[in-house]
Structure 1
Amino acid sequence: MWNPWFIALYLLWSGVFAILEQQEKPQFPEPLNEEGFNTQLKAGLHVVEFYSPNCHHCKALAPTWEKTWETFYEEGKALHIAFSQVNCLLSGDLCAKEKIGYFPTIRLYGPSGVIKNFPDDAKRSMENLIDFARREANDPSNSEIVDIKSTSIQLSGDKFNQLLDGRGSQPILVSFWPSKAMRSTDDDMEFENCEDCRPFQRTWRVLSSRLLSSSISTGHVNCESSAKLCEELGFDDLVKIRNHSYERLPRVALIIPGRKVNNLFIYESKFSTSVSDYEDFATRVTRNSEAPFISSSDVKQIAERDFQLSASSAFASPPQNLHIVFAYNPKTVVQEDFAVLDHLVEPLSNIPNAYLYKSTDDMKQTSRSNLDSLYKIMNSNLDGPEKTIKEEFIDLNVMDQNPTFYVFRDGDRIPHVFPGYSTTEVRDVDRIVTWIESLSLPFMNEVSTSNFKELLNFIPEEYSGLAIQLIDTSSPVLFEKSSRFLEKFMLAGYDYEDFRMGYVVNVTSAERAKKSKKMSDLKGKGASAKKRIQAAIQDVPHVDDNKVVLGYIDISKSSNTLSNMGLAHRGDTYKAGDVIIINKVTKFVYEHNAAGDVLTSESSSKIKNALISALLPKATPSPPRISGHLLSTPFGDSFRFLDSLHQFGFFGYLGLLSVVLFSYKILRFYSRSKVNRKYKAKRNTLGILGKSNQKKLRD
């Protein structure tokens, strides 16, 4: 028998515990009214959803919004950013004041008011909403209380043309607006068909102040009153509305003084209200237009900048810059060689973190030195026989041509040299830009739902693989483990690159041998001089494919990241240290080594071998076979054999249907033939139903 007093105490304690637990657990807040909106938004940052209870899309978003609030609540307190709502049915005046034109509208607000809209092209998922909040909390300009006045000056068409003629005293960043009489970008304006104009006013105000320290001024143009100028620049939509369902956006351009050509640079990247995006554009273009000098020791430091993982998932890792070096001999260079630098400034403005330099140092020797240090690291950290530099690969890729271009990436010890064999090629801007773009990815990429497809589609004919390391930064212990995993993962990437270099050398040697044999055969057959010359001048193809893009996913940021990418083949069994390899050409995913074990960074050599099996099986006589599955496969384990069919889409299934129909026809034909044979056999027998022996009947 239970003691009544014990039962009473137990019930009392359970009730108290439940009340305390309920008090500790934060409750989903009520929507803000106008008073609460004005009060709360004075502190920190707020991602605000303006909604209507009668809106179908708002109702569909409601569960996601509440789950996002609950998931991000504690982290948001640490980052000083919160998710809030405004019911526009109850707070109509507030929504009218904030110019809310549709539901749901999601905006970022700071102490000084609206900062930016949630991206229109981003799915309103919990992962994207939290990623948006983290990213904006990490941008210091969002937390600034902007009580300064814009220093941007209004420009007429004549004044703008004077600046284009090179008569400015300093670089000037100019914004173009769908307005007629805006004197200052601080003016409280009504912009028709331009929802982002109002947030961009704040962006421009901060920019005008920020750029002063870089000696860059700011100006603005009213396109409705300077119509001819804006139309000549291609900003026709800012002059007059041509489609009322199409949102107009402010445009931005930079003018460099002191030159009359190649001095106007239009911001062509995706529109943003981020201050840092335009600040980077203005300062980087200004700097690249000068192409400062860089030394061999500076390049060595660039290569030795080990990738550093951010200690918090809320903050991005340091940027990995791309350094393009124009190396030349001052004794042999001519003025025409430098002209290509002016033409590179504009295309480089659209490549994030790309910086242009000049150098008179021996970059070939610097490249060799970087490779020497890489192989020392590999030999001291990897098992197996000692690795040596592929001299033939260096001869193929590091030439004595001067001038030429080199690319060095932060933390990447492998040199990249422009494959140009003549002065003409080194002056070919389009070819140089294409080559630079092929190296524009950082050495180590953070993979997210927003850039996964971009990485997957990045030059597949050259980069045939995407290798992903899973990490977890949710605690100091897991952060340290993840940092070690990444170190081993990068070593595996270098190990694979060493193998790939050897493959490139073998392929090139085989092509050269084929060319030599062809020339020998032509000589032996007494071929004409014309044919022999044509064979001699035929280029051996410069093979440099089957590269791999390295990346990582922080699984502590979201539990749904892998599934949203179509990579959650093993359900919820993934953990930090696991490695996923994707063949970008076949779209097959590999998660196990040849022995069937899950790929992890515990063994760099196993990752390298898996990369070879997945991406370069033709490079070895008998490569170890590893099993994989199609990315986003619709089939379970029992029907995995259909993956090879599914990758061909409609034509794959059409082929299967054709095979099934053909097989059906064959079986039906065989069945009919069998029946006919039996029938004929019966007709040829004696008896009442069979054929009679005609000869005996006549007898």
Structure 2
Amino acid sequence: MRFLACILALLWLHATVAAPPGKIADAKDAKDTTVQLPEELTSETFQASVSEKLSLVEFYSPYCGHCKDLAPIWEDAFQASFQEQLSLGIQMRQVNCVESGDLCEKEGINYYPYLRLYAPSVKDGKTVGKHIDTFPRTLSKTMENIKNYLINSVAEFDSDSANLSSASEEIDTDLGMDIVSGNIEEPYFVALFSATNEEYEGSFSDSCLDCIEHRRNWEKLSNLVVTSSKTGHLNCHSNPNLCKKMGFPQLASGSKLLAPRYVMFVPKSAGRIRFDYPNKDITDVSRMKAFVTKLSLNYKYEEVSPYDLQELKVITPQLPESFKEVDFPLDNKLAVVFAYDKKSATPEDKAIMPYILEMVSLLPFNIDLYASSSDLLERIVERETQALVEYVNKDSTFADRSFDRKMFLAASLTLRPTLYIYKANSLTPVVFQTFALEDMRMPDKIRKFVEKNAKPMLGELTPFEVSSYFSKSSRKSEEDRDDKVLITFIDSNNKDELDKILFDMSMAAHQYHLEKQEYFYNDLVTKRGIKDTDVAKLKEENAQSTTIIERMRKEIPHLFDRHNVVFTYIDLKTFPRLADYLGLNIDGKQYVPGDTIVVSKSLSKYWDQNLAGQQLKSTPQELRRVLKHLLDPKTTAEKPKGFRSKLVGSPYHRFLRVFDVVHQYGFFGYLIAFSVLYVGLALVKQYKRLRKNASYNRRGGILGNGVAKAD
């Protein structure tokens, strides 16, 4: 036995010595073991270090088991990326939270290990280190992933990213077939070019429209998403059959000027493999990165607990009494949670997940998709609703409220499976109320719910988000017809003023949410009371059983998801003319921070005055009165003075607003108006002619009244 072991050892030694030197050398060269980890940062050295360069910082505890597991991986990643750190001006550092507990507390570190990215930022004229990103919680902390995350960070946050080589690989037929069939272990984002492999590496032919710019941006994007997804370029002139199989035969023909197309593929375990990027334009790389990142994180339908949601900060135990401690831009993360019962769930229940994944990927907001079997989700909704009541009562102008459990149950009671939407900076989680199993198997119904409710509590309105906040089709939709978008103007340069405006908006948003629930709950109770009275009366009258049962079966609809108001803001520093562009300033006003307008979701009309006829401001009292009046004029005792809607994009002067009634119906409005005018003029003309004929008749016609004239 020993003899056999010696023989095997000699054979292994021979194979090692005879092996190609490149392979052994490559393994050693992957990391530089001669360099040691730098000194740990402390409260005294932290800011000076992270304000100098892009820094990936690990916050750890020496007593943490996960930290001990990460320690050798972190060291390997440091050594493997050491040359890149030197050449790209980045660094990997560590903080021991046992020895520097005050620093970790100041940075809000609540679990270990915690990997954060810091970048130099100018604040009050000084360069400081600012927390700009966090290592993705769904990404395994391997040496390769940590190194790739560094490259991704340089590509996104460093101006020298143009020096990075592309991470995109050339796709051949074999790899392409695996990608298309979903036989892949991680997502692939694919760019399809109307070119050959040789043209992609050199210069493009005339058939590939703007492909030089597309390739430049694509190579930048490939490094931006390297931690989330693999990227590959497919040149359709070299792989025509594969491009045809993907549904783009035109790209393979070269007969037209065609821009590249972009498609995301995920493993078939997601239930759906392919997701087309909806926009052909790649000039805004950040949009495409958001699309790829969301799909890469969400296709796994990660199982989460309430503790995980609290770590993500989408569960809000309480809101701050001031926004001075809240960083701007706001963290507007949302979480859509598929809640199911582990004991009774079936594959059919989860079949809706790919549809929700597509909806989430197309929305321009920071949305994560999860699954959860926790029984505590309902309790979280109740706890946040109670916290909401406490929060709005802090406004002395708001009548004291108490938590109404019956109203809470009417607005949130649901069967499982269902959906919950939790939002950062919000105490208003949203519940998809299901009363039958088939409710969760209706993609159109769920799409409407997600599109309506998966919006930030206080979101910035930019040209990119306009189509997500407004919908022309809502003119015809009874469900969306009464929805509004409230827009407040801010100036992010004025921090003190900004804090007050954001706090006022937050207070007004939560107050309206509660008052709207009260309004619809009272309406529900009243209608149920009428129904009970009618049934009792029918019984007293000894009406037929079928009549009584028919009245009892008549449903009282839950209308809690009507008259929604989404709160947004426009930063005058960034988009000073956006309101004018959208037709929300037909009077040519000079909007200033704090000014507010309420716009119909159909983008057809808006209100920019309070009930006294003055410019509407962002104070909770004014917004509360206006929104309640728009909900139901009967709810406001104050009689409006000069409060009226204005037509979006009206071409008429304010003294000619009567013509807005015609203008809002476009061509048909003017056609009907001219038809009415034409008919009116014709009737007047006919009337005059009839009067003239009558006058002639009274005089006896053309020859007079028939009396002989004297000689």
Which residue number corresponds to residue 371 of structure 1?
Answer: 385
Q: 1:652 to 1:265 in 2, by over 3 A?
A: closer
For the pair 1:321 / 2:340, whether they are aligned, the reply is no
Instruction: Determine if contact 2:462/2:575 at 8 Å carries over to the other structure.
Output: no
Q: Give the deviation of 1:306 after TM superposition.
A: 6.7
Instruction: Determine if contact 1:295/1:361 at 8 Å carries over to the other structure.
Output: no
CA RMSD of aligned residues (A): 4.1
Q: 1:205 to 1:448 in 2, by over 3 A?
A: closer
Which residue number corresponds to residue 395 of structure 1?
Answer: 409
Instruction: Determine if contact 1:467/1:548 at 8 Å carries over to the other structure.
Output: yes
Which of 464, 486, 497 aligns to 2:483? It is 464
TM-score by length of 1: 0.67
Which of 589, 596, 608 aligns to 1:579? It is 596
Q: Give the deviation of 1:361 after TM superposition.
A: 3.7
Q: Which amino acid aligns with 1:330?
A: K
Per-residue CA deviation, residues 205-226 of structure 1 (Å, 9 max, x unaligned), is: 3444444444x43333222232
Which residue number corresponds to residue 352 of structure 2?
Answer: 340
Aligned counterparts of 1:403 and 1:319: Cα–Cα separation in 2: 28
Instruction: Determine if contact 2:418/2:434 at 8 Å carries over to the other structure.
Output: yes
Aligned counterparts of 1:584 and 1:597: Cα–Cα separation in 2: 23
Which residue number corresponds to residue 658 of structure 2?
Answer: 641
Which of 413, 423, 429 aligns to 1:409? It is 423
Aligned counterparts of 2:222 and 2:691: Cα–Cα separation in 1: 90
Unaligned runs of 5+ in 1: 1-74, 79-137, 684-688, 694-699
Aligned counterparts of 1:209 and 1:648: Cα–Cα separation in 2: 49
Which of 497, 509, 520 aligns to 1:504? It is 520
Instruction: Determine if contact 1:289/1:345 at 8 Å carries over to the other structure.
Output: yes
Which residue number corresponds to residue 489 of structure 1?
Answer: 505
Which of 188, 191, 203 aligns to 1:172? It is 188
Aligned counterparts of 1:366 and 1:403: Cα–Cα separation in 2: 17
Instruction: Determine if contact 1:600/1:607 at 8 Å carries over to the other structure.
Output: yes
Q: Which amino acid aligns with 1:256?
A: P
Which of 293, 296, 301 aligns to 2:303? It is 293
Q: Which amino acid aligns with 2:656?
A: F
Which residue number corresponds to residue 614 of structure 2?
Answer: 597
Q: 1:377 to 1:279 in 2, by over 3 A?
A: same
Q: 1:644 to 1:517 in 2, by over 3 A?
A: farther
Q: Give the deviation of 1:198 after TM superposition.
A: 1.9
Aligned counterparts of 1:166 and 1:589: Cα–Cα separation in 2: 48
Q: Give the deviation of 1:357 after TM superposition.
A: 1.2
Q: Which amino acid aligns with 1:593?
A: N
Instruction: Determine if contact 2:489/2:596 at 8 Å carries over to the other structure.
Output: yes
Instruction: Determine if contact 2:414/2:432 at 8 Å carries over to the other structure.
Output: no
User: How is 1:429-448 mapped onto 2 (pairs within 5 angstroms)?
Assistant: 429-448=443-462
Q: 1:654 to 1:180 in 2, by over 3 A?
A: closer
User: How is 1:526-545 mapped onto 2 (pairs within 5 angstroms)?
Assistant: 535-543=551-559, 544-545=561-562
For the pair 1:330 / 2:357, whether they are aligned, the reply is no
Aligned counterparts of 2:426 and 2:473: Cα–Cα separation in 1: 19
Aligned counterparts of 2:288 and 2:192: Cα–Cα separation in 1: 14
For the pair 1:253 / 2:270, whether they are aligned, the reply is no
Which of 647, 655, 658 aligns to 1:630? It is 647
3-state SS, counterpart of residue 438 of structure 1: helix
3-state SS, counterpart of residue 336 of structure 2: strand
Q: 1:437 to 1:591 in 2, by over 3 A?
A: closer
Aligned counterparts of 2:280 and 2:555: Cα–Cα separation in 1: 40
Instruction: Determine if contact 2:156/2:224 at 8 Å carries over to the other structure.
Output: no
Which of 277, 292, 298 aligns to 1:282? It is 292
For the pair 1:228 / 2:244, whether they are aligned, the reply is no
Aligned counterparts of 2:324 and 2:274: Cα–Cα separation in 1: 37
Instruction: Determine if contact 2:155/2:161 at 8 Å carries over to the other structure.
Output: no
Q: Give the deviation of 1:406 after TM superposition.
A: 0.5
Which residue number corresponds to residue 33 of structure 1?
Answer: none
Q: Give the deviation of 1:659 after TM superposition.
A: 5.4
Which residue number corresponds to residue 194 of structure 1?
Answer: 208
Aligned counterparts of 1:171 and 1:269: Cα–Cα separation in 2: 19
Aligned counterparts of 1:536 and 1:269: Cα–Cα separation in 2: 51
TM-score by length of 2: 0.66
Q: Which amino acid aligns with 1:472?
A: D
Q: Which amino acid aligns with 2:232?
A: G
Aligned counterparts of 1:155 and 1:139: Cα–Cα separation in 2: 23
3-state SS, counterpart of residue 302 of structure 1: coil
Aligned counterparts of 2:248 and 2:158: Cα–Cα separation in 1: 28
Q: Give the deviation of 1:386 after TM superposition.
A: 0.7
For the pair 1:146 / 2:178, whether they are aligned, the reply is no
Q: 1:182 to 1:518 in 2, by over 3 A?
A: farther
Per-residue CA deviation, residues 182-212 of structure 1 (Å, 9 max, x unaligned), is: 49x6x22314333332233233434444444
Q: 1:651 to 1:389 in 2, by over 3 A?
A: farther
Aligned counterparts of 2:176 and 2:387: Cα–Cα separation in 1: 51
Which residue number corresponds to residue 479 of structure 1?
Answer: 495
Which residue number corresponds to residue 217 of structure 1?
Answer: 230
Q: Give the deviation of 1:599 after TM superposition.
A: 1.4
Instruction: Determine if contact 2:260/2:280 at 8 Å carries over to the other structure.
Output: no
Paired-residue identity, %: 24
Instruction: Determine if contact 1:310/1:318 at 8 Å carries over to the other structure.
Output: no
Q: 1:502 to 1:309 in 2, by over 3 A?
A: closer
Aligned counterparts of 1:581 and 1:276: Cα–Cα separation in 2: 29
Which residue number corresponds to residue 27 of structure 1?
Answer: none
Aligned counterparts of 2:354 and 2:581: Cα–Cα separation in 1: 43
Q: 1:306 to 1:196 in 2, by over 3 A?
A: farther
